[in-house]
Amino acid sequence: MPTYDFDLFTIGAGSGGVRASRMAAAFGAKTVVAEDRYLGGTCVNVGCIPKKLLVYASEFGEGFSDAAGFGWGLGTRTHDWKKLIANKNTEIHRLNGVYRRLLTESGANIIEGRATLLDAHTLEINGKRYTSKYVLIATGSWPVVPKTPGSDLAITSNEAFFLEERPQRVILVGGGYIAVEFAGIFHGLGSQVALIHRGPKVLRGFDEDLRDTLGREMTKRGIVLRLNSQIKEIARIGGALRAHLDTDDYIDADVIMYATGRSPNTHGLGLENAGVKLDEHGAVAVDTYSRTSVDNIYAIGDCTNRIMLTPVAIAEGRAVAETLFNNRPMSVDYTGVPSAVFSQPNLATVGLTEAQARAQHGDVLIYKSSFRPLKHTLSGRDETTFMKLVVDRKTDRVLGCHMIGNDAGEIIQGLAVALKCNATKAQFDATIGIHPTAAEEFVTMRTPA
Quick one: pLDDT at residue 440? 98
Quick one: pLDDT at residue 24? 98
Strand ranges, E, within 74-211 = 109-112, 116-117, 122-125, 128-137, 141-143, 169-173, 192-197
- Whole-model pTM: value is 0.96
Quick one: pLDDT at residue 2? 83
> pLDDT of 146-188, one tens digit each?
999 999 999 999 999 999 999 999 999 999 999 999 999 999 9
Alpha-carbon gap, residue 425 to 52, rounded angstroms: 33
Mean pLDDT calculated for residue range 51-64: 97
**In this structure, is the dihedral angle defined by the CA atoms of residues 169, 173, 175 and 177, taken in order, positive or negative?**
negative
Burial (CB count <10 Å: 0-12, 13-18, 19+), residue 362? exposed
Mean pLDDT calculated for residue range 14-38: 97
Alpha-carbon gap, residue 205 to 308, rounded angstroms: 14
Mean pLDDT calculated for residue range 16-42: 97
Could you tell me the pLDDT band of residue 192, with boundaries at 50, 70 and 90? very high
Q: Which residues contact 417 (CB under 8 A, 6 or more apart)?
A: none
Mean pLDDT calculated for residue range 48-53: 98
Note if 435 is an active site residue. yes
Domains and CATH numbers, the chain: 6-143+263-325 (3.50.50.60), 151-260 (3.50.50.60), 345-443 (3.30.390.30)
Quick one: pLDDT at residue 218? 98
Alpha-carbon Rg for the chain in angstroms:
24
Query: Which of 121, 376, 402, 435 is flagged as catalytic?
Result: 435
Summary mean pLDDT of the chain:
97
Strand ranges, E, within 51-187 = 109-112, 116-117, 122-125, 128-137, 141-143, 169-173
> pLDDT of 362-404, one tens digit each?
999 999 999 999 999 999 999 999 999 999 999 999 999 999 9
> pLDDT of 60-109, one tens digit each?
999 999 999 999 998 899 999 999 999 999 999 999 999 999 999 999 99
Quick one: pLDDT at residue 74? 87
Could you tell me the pLDDT band of residue 133, with boundaries at 50, 70 and 90? very high
Buried/exposed code over 172-205 (b: 16+ C-beta within 10 A; e: otherwise): bbbbbbbbbbbbbbbbbbebbbbbbbbeebbbee
Strand order in the sheet with 224-227: 224-227, 192-197, 169-173, 255-258
Mean pLDDT calculated for residue range 20-40: 97
Quick one: pLDDT at residue 434? 98
Burial (CB count <10 Å: 0-12, 13-18, 19+), residue 90? exposed
Mean pLDDT calculated for residue range 336-354: 98
> pLDDT of 262-297, one tens digit each?
999 999 999 999 999 999 999 999 999 999 999 999
pLDDT for 1 beyond 90: no
Altogether, the residues listed in the chain come to a count of 449
pLDDT for 330 beyond 80: yes
Quick one: pLDDT at residue 435? 97
